[in-house]
Amino acid sequence: MHKQAVWMRYASPAVFYPLAGRLIPWLALAAALFAAAGLYVGLVVAPPDSQQGEVYRILFIHVAAAWMSMFLYLVMAAYAALGLIYNTRLSFMMMRALAPTGALFTFLTLWTGALWGKPTWGAWWVWDARLTSELILLFLYLGFIALQAATDDTRRADRSGAILLLAGVVNVPIIYFSVRWWSTLHQGASINLTTAPSMARIMLTAMLLMVAAFWLYSAAVALARVRGLIAQREPGAVHSGPVRSGAVHSGAVCSGDKGSNGHAGQPGRQEAP
């Protein structure tokens, strides 16, 4: 119970806000360092590919972006489930904060894939199973963002967005396993958990450095964005801090000064942070 209380403590926006502020500079600095190292290894140190020549270097960004596009959607869906089950306000805010970054990486995946596909396949775009399912992922991200902006009722937008995210989770395994389930032009995975990587170690190093850079970048911008959401939705949490927020040790915060759409002056109820 004590460990659970400690973790629930950080579900309070008043506690999470200053913690995120302390983490953002370090995450941003680490992202820049890993990105610089990954680009140097991938563009300078790694040799040309024996079959694709220099054009394969696009894959250091393309593959890392593709992984992040799927990973961030799963993280958003996890926050959506937590928000619906435990009614945690911070979960809904994290869900919103991650969406633009996920959409960015999905677009980057499709764009770099087109740049790689033209000299490799001879076409900017084909209705390949993996490309099409990745495009659907972009539509899911954009649909979620549009749904959040469609109403001023915060509670309703959060819950409807969470349901959309959970419904769209089925697309992620389709993206990942599409090259196994259907006959596609897209090459299979170079890295998986059951066999050794099929690429040279220096190429693998560059790719993993870029994955780490993108992950750290995503964490930094998501925390910055969620701080803005906390300041917008619960300005009292920004100034009160963990001591004055009340009932932080149990993870419960009284929201009697806010109604369902976050406006003051309406009766509220007890809910988890």
Q: How confident is the model at residue 187 (pLDDT cuts 50, 70, 90)?
A: low
Most trustworthy range by pLDDT among 54-58, 106-110, 240-244: 106-110
pTM for the full predicted model: 0.81
Specify the length of the chain in residues: 273
C-alpha span between 64 and 201 (Å, rounded): 16
Q: How many CB atoms lie within 10 A of CB 186?
A: 17
State mean pLDDT over 218-222.
97
Handedness of CA 217, 137, 99, 93 (dihedral sign): negative
For 72-94, the pLDDT digits (tens) are 999 999 999 999 999 889 999 99
CA–centroid distance for 195 within its chain: 27
1-to-13, 82, 90, 91, 218 alpha-carbon distances in Å: 21, 19, 21, 21, 31
Q: Which residue has the higher pLDDT, 20 or 10?
A: 20
Tokens of 177: 């396993």
Greatest C-alpha distance within the chain: 68
Q: How confident is the model at residue 262 (pLDDT cuts 50, 70, 90)?
A: very low
Tokens of 211: 């994955």
Cβ 138 vs Cβ 99: under 8 Å: no
Looking up tokens 């020549």 gives 53
Tokens of 91: 């979960």
DSSP string, the chain: -HHHHHHHHTTSHHHHHHHHHHHHHHHHHHHHHHHHHHHHIIIIISPPBTTTBTGGGGHHHHHHHHHHHHHHHHHHHHHHHHHHHH--HHHHHHHHHHHHHHHHHHHHHHHHHHHHHHHHHS-S----HHHHHHHHHHHHHHHHHHHHHT-S-HHHHHHHHHHHHHHHTTHHHHHHHHHHHS--SS---S--SSS--SS-HHHHHHHHHHHHHHHHHHHHHHHHHHHHHHHHH-HHHHHHHHHHSSSGGGT-EE-TTB-TTS-BTS---EE--
C-alpha span between 240 and 14 (Å, rounded): 7
Percentage of the chain surpassing pLDDT 90? 54
C-alpha span between 33 and 41 (Å, rounded): 12
For 45-76, the pLDDT digits (tens) are 988 877 777 888 898 999 999 999 999 999 99
